[in-house]
Structure 1
Amino acid sequence: MSRTPVAVFISGSGTNMAALLYASRADDCPYEIALVLSNNPDADGLRLAAAEGVATFALPHQGMKRAEHDAAMEAQVLQAGAQAIALAGYMRILSPGFVARWEGRMINIHPSLLPKYTGLHTHERALAAGDSHGGCSVHLVTAELDDGPLLGQTAVAILPGDTADTLAARVLIAEHQLYGRCLAALVSQCSSPASLIDNVRERALALPEADEVVSHGMPCFGVIKGKKFAYVSNDHHGDGKVALLVKISGIDEQLQLIENDPARYYRPAYFGNDWIAIRLDLGDTDWDAIGEWLARSWRAIAPRRLAAMLDF
């Protein structure tokens, strides 16, 4: 079973990191922890990760600009081959550029039932409000603090006489159960053929007068009653790959792309020299670039009256 490498960012004890790590030891877990990073070299979680045989990296943020620190951490994530990021008690607000680059692939866990109580002191605020339940939420990370789309929640009853500490202890148990399930679901969805095809479909059908049919057993996109500009190959002829097939300028470009990145690009079987296959199942697909490939391929076959529409 191929597992998605994940990087975990921590600042302290790393109990949620540990929960993710131990969940990853299950035979059917779709992710593995490739790297644990911290802005605090003294974080206890780093020692635990190292003892469990997981690579670690620490870089204090003091004296560094936020984007500079994020870039240095990201370089380590990429070097480790991680395809997703889990924030687990990472006490730093991330720069917008970093967040944008990992859109849809970075998650966080927060100790409240969002959208209630973003930020700090969540348990105190739940108690002060007289809530019947506290809890935890896992969400995708966006530029707005604790505001990304929810992936899962667990409610935890508030008992008579609870303090912030006693409530926090029970919520932490719920966090440890919830986070691994949500991370597993996210990486499975991101790498599933259906999800990859849906991402292509969304971008292809946004082009003027584009439609979808099935051709040679593959989803195929073209101009209505016209030529085709893209196919999605899913284990076609048993090759085990999910790839986008688009038109290019010819064999010189085809050979150059394959030479520069043979893991990502290949010559699609039964297609001519003016097509290239782009792997979508490597875990690091740049969907903005895929949108550009689709638009370029669409232009190659679209009538002039339509091509002019895309330029305005």
Structure 2
Amino acid sequence: MAALLYASRLPSSSYEIVLVASNQPSAEGLVLAAGEGIGTFAHSHKGMARADHDAIMEKAALAADADYIILAGYMRILSEEFVERWQGKMLNIHPSLLPKYRGLDTHQRAIAAGDNVAGATVHLVSSELDAGEILGQIEVNIQPDDTAASLAERVRIAEHQLYPHIVNEFAGRPYDPAWLLETIRTLALELPETEERESHGSAGWRTSGKSGKYFAYFSDRHHGQPHIALLAKTGGQDELSALIERDPEVFFRPAFYGASGWVGLILNRPGVDWEQVVYWLQRSWQSVAPKKLTKLLDAADEF
């Protein structure tokens, strides 16, 4: 926690700590955080149902306007409901090179197995223990005379380097053009018979073949606009205007493309609804794809 706190004060940091919370009211980290001017919260779990305690901790996180939960030495298995509510927004660090050695006694197990390296893994928290998506790892060599204690000491130093780096990278994703482009690319190319082709300096996706038509573009602050955005086809100027009027923080009229009824869906903003992004990609693709590809989707829409 201390490594995360002080790393958050570097000029290059993409995150800030708004609360340090613990189920141990006597935790030293609470004292450190308070001394550094960070809000703190503590509530013992003793005598409480797991879900009830999780709800109390979650309430404190929400009151602090937290966007993410970063577990650092929080030695509690979390309720499935709590994990689901923070899916994709809760990180943990584990002292092994996952998927090796989930759970406890990781250093002794690595030594006993004759491994040459140990290490640490930062991963997203999932309902299965230590099984969420791996975001980053760091290796630590196992020395011939290592004990579990001596190995743990070096792994802990490595953890303090890895965790702030990964949290910084993860928190900065929503504003990183490269990550946003790769995410849009993956979603677009999942649609049937699509291909990527650059157009006017922007990445674009179209139906494949000589008669293929564009259904999406990626715009990285083009034509003097401040937005990183997905450009998709609407039903026309009336719908485009209605979308912008209803939600100007999400939609805008893109230069050049707006005259043809395309809408810009802003990506470099907090709280992007990726289901909405998928909806516009699919709808835009459906508007230009050959009937042989869309007839089943068209039939489903009628219901």
Shift of 1:109: 1.1
TM-score scaled by structure 1? 0.78
Is structure 2 residue 274 aligned with structure 1 residue 290? no
Shift of 1:155: 0.9
Whole-angstrom distance in 1 between the partners of 2:270 and 2:3: 23
Shift of 1:172: 1.6
Which of 68, 86, 89 lines up with 2:70 in the alignment? 86
Q: What is the aligned partner in structure 1 of residue 142 from structure 2?
A: 157
C-alpha change, 1:105 and 1:279, in structure 2 (3 Å) is same
C-alpha change, 1:161 and 1:106, in structure 2 (3 Å) is closer
Shift of 1:279: 1.3
Is structure 2 residue 227 aligned with structure 1 residue 241? yes
**Which structure ranks higher in relative contact order (CA pairs < 8 Å, sequence separation ≥ 6)?**
1
Query: Percent identity, aligned pairs only?
Result: 49
- Listed as ranges, the matches of 1:243-262 within 5 Å are 243-250=229-236, 253-262=239-248
Whole-angstrom distance in 2 between the partners of 1:111 and 1:210: 42
Amino acid at match of 1:169: E
Amino acid at match of 1:63: M
User: Aligned with 1:31: secondary structure?
Assistant: coil
Is the Cα–Cα contact under 8 Å of residues 212 and 221 in structure 1 kept in the other structure? Answer: yes
Deviations 1:222-256 (A, max 9, x none): 32324332222101113232111222345554455
Whole-angstrom distance in 2 between the partners of 1:220 and 1:79: 41
How many residue pairs end up in the alignment? 294
Amino acid at match of 1:227: K
The structure carrying a bigger strand percent of its residues is 1
Amino acid at match of 2:196: E
User: Aligned with 2:283: secondary structure?
Assistant: helix
User: Aligned with 1:29: secondary structure?
Assistant: coil
Deviations 1:130-152 (A, max 9, x none): 55554322233333322232511
Shift of 1:260: 4.8
C-alpha change, 1:255 and 1:110, in structure 2 (3 Å) is same
Is structure 2 residue 165 aligned with structure 1 residue 178? no
Is the Cα–Cα contact under 8 Å of residues 229 and 267 in structure 2 kept in the other structure? Answer: yes
Whole-angstrom distance in 2 between the partners of 1:213 and 1:231: 9
Q: What is the aligned partner in structure 2 of residue 31 from structure 1?
A: 15
Q: What is the aligned partner in structure 2 of residue 302 from structure 1?
A: 289
C-alpha change, 1:102 and 1:28, in structure 2 (3 Å) is same
Unmatched segments (≥5 aa) in structure 2: none
Shift of 1:158: 4.2
- Bigger shift: residues 69-78 or 203-212: 69-78
C-alpha change, 1:306 and 1:113, in structure 2 (3 Å) is closer
- Bigger shift: residues 92-101 or 198-207: 92-101
Q: What is the aligned partner in structure 1 of residue 263 from structure 2?
A: 276
Deviations 1:14-61 (A, max 9, x none): xxx110111222222333223333344443323322321223344555
Whole-angstrom distance in 2 between the partners of 1:208 and 1:132: 45
- Bigger shift: residues 202-211 or 94-103: 94-103
Is the Cα–Cα contact under 8 Å of residues 138 and 158 in structure 2 kept in the other structure? Answer: no
Shift of 1:177: 1.8
Shift of 1:214: 2.2
Is structure 2 residue 110 aligned with structure 1 residue 123? no
Is the Cα–Cα contact under 8 Å of residues 265 and 278 in structure 1 kept in the other structure? Answer: yes
TM-score scaled by structure 2? 0.80
Is the Cα–Cα contact under 8 Å of residues 244 and 279 in structure 1 kept in the other structure? Answer: yes
C-alpha change, 1:34 and 1:303, in structure 2 (3 Å) is same
Whole-angstrom distance in 1 between the partners of 2:114 and 2:196: 53
Q: What is the aligned partner in structure 2 of residue 6 from structure 1?
A: none
Q: What is the aligned partner in structure 2 of residue 7 from structure 1?
A: none
Which of 36, 39, 54 lines up with 1:55 in the alignment? 39
Whole-angstrom distance in 2 between the partners of 1:178 and 1:128: 25
Whole-angstrom distance in 1 between the partners of 2:217 and 2:185: 10
Q: What is the aligned partner in structure 2 of residue 12 from structure 1?
A: none
Whole-angstrom distance in 1 between the partners of 2:55 and 2:280: 27
